[in-house]
Amino acid sequence: MIQLVDGEMRIFTLEQAVKRSQQIVRRYIPEGRSLSDELLEERRQENLSK
């Protein structure tokens, strides 16, 4: 990942970019809540209603 800040180019590894993204999402999603589990449950419910 490459980021340009104040004319400075910052390069991140994939691992750093993922960790940074997770930190950003964690600000809005409470600890203990699993978005992936919720998505899977939604998909199961959709399949049951077909």
pLDDT of residue 50: 77
Separation between Cα atoms, residue 24 and residue 18, nearest integer Å? 10
The whole-model pTM stands at 0.58
pLDDT of residue 1: 87
Separation between Cα atoms, residue 4 and residue 47, nearest integer Å? 43
Strand partners, 3: 10
CB 40 within 8 A of CB 48: no
Listed as ranges, residues in the chain with pLDDT below 70 are none
pLDDT of residue 31: 87
Long-range residue pairs from 37-45, CB within 8 A, at least 24 positions apart, any chain = none
